[in-house]
Chain A
Amino acid sequence: DTAVSQTPKYLVTQMGNDKSIKCEQNLGHDTMYWYKQDSKKFLKIMFSYNNKELIINETVPNRFSPKSPDKAHLNLHINSLELGDSAVYFCASSQAGLAGGYTGELFFGEGSRLTVL
């Protein structure tokens, strides 16, 4: 059983298109995240949801819109894709919520590599 699973694993698309990445966790965690990893492997948080509520929304273009239908799912929708959006997007989850001051260990998915042509 995959603890944090995200689909698709690879996504190749043209500039200007809209695409979605889905994420599901079966760990019963309260908090889920989206991270972006650039070509230099730098990991940066984009969003965090705790029990379906948005907690963190870093400086991310509003073309990126997360949606959490329930606490086990956090999807990422991207409108009007740009070349600079090419990256690997990681979904993650953790047990503790951010309201407690800090989170526990992050469990990451395998990543979704997005290539914008």
Chain B
Amino acid sequence: GESVGLHLPTLSVQEGDNSIINCAYSNSASDYFIWYKQESGKGPQFIIDIRSNMDKRQGQRVTVLLNKTVKHLSLQIAATQPGDSAVYFCAEIPFYGQNFVFGPGTRLSVLP
């Protein structure tokens, strides 16, 4: 069946450190991946995306890495700030996708 995401429910990092949130996906044909951030009481918000023809993409303080060989996706957040505290989801769409498949989410807690 479909499954996305390692069960890594909570990640705690010190403010100013870099954070790495990991995600495994199961469908080797998946073509498009997105990381979403969900703050408490809000809906998920787009952070960054990457297509399967790339292995790295950078945004502002965030980098997504895609390793198709081991079907692994990671989100790196540089200089983590208190405002980065949230639940982060990876989501994939298969090449002939019907819908996004979301991972189980990782809660990032930023310690002062």
Candidates A4, A44, A58, A109; contact of B102 at CB < 8 Å: A44
Given A90-B43, A103-B93, CB of A98 within 8 Å of CB of B99:
yes
Scoring A45, A105, A107 by chain B CB atoms within 10 A of each residue's CB, the highest score goes to: A105
Given A43, A56, A103, A110, which contacts B42 in the complex, CB threshold below 8 Å?
Answer: A110
Contacting B104 at CB < 8 Å: which of A42, A45, A103, A109? A42
Q: Which residues of A contact B (CB under 8 A)?
A: 4, 33, 40-45, 48, 56, 58, 90, 92, 98, 101-103, 105-111
A108 close to B102 (CB less than 8 A): no
Tell me which residues across on chain A come within 8 A of B45, comparing CB atoms. 108
Q: Please name the residue on chain A nearest to B106 by beta carbon.
A: A41
Render B88-107 as a binary contact track against A, CB cut-off 8 A, 1 for contact. Answer: 01010111111110101101
B105 and A42 form a contact (CB under 8 A):
yes
Which of B34, B43, B45, B46 has the most CB atoms of chain A within a 10 A radius of its CB? B43
A41 touches B104 (CB 8 A): yes
Pairwise interchain contact B49-A105, C-beta atoms closer than 8 A? yes
Shortest beta-carbon contacts, A-B, top 6: A108-B43, A102-B93, A43-B102, A102-B97, A41-B105, A45-B99
A105:B105 contact, CB within 8 angstroms: no
Q: B87, B91, B95, B98: which has the most chain A beta carbons within 10 Å?
A: B98
User: Could you say which residues of chain B place their CB within 8 Å of the CB of A42?
Assistant: 102, 104-105
Contact pick for B32, options A41, A90, A102, CB 8 Å: A102
Q: Which residues of A contact B36 (CB under 8 A)?
A: 106
Q: B112: CB under 8 A from chain A?
A: no
In the complex formed, the residue of B with least CB distance to A35 is: B102
Please measure, in the bound complex, the distance between the C-alpha atom of A106 and the C-alpha atom of B102, giving whole angstroms: 12
B42 touches A102 (CB 8 A): no
A108 to chain B, nearest CB (A): 3
User: Residue on B with the closest CB to A58?
Assistant: B99
Establish whether residues B46 and A106, one from each chain, have CB atoms under 8 Å apart when the complex forms: yes
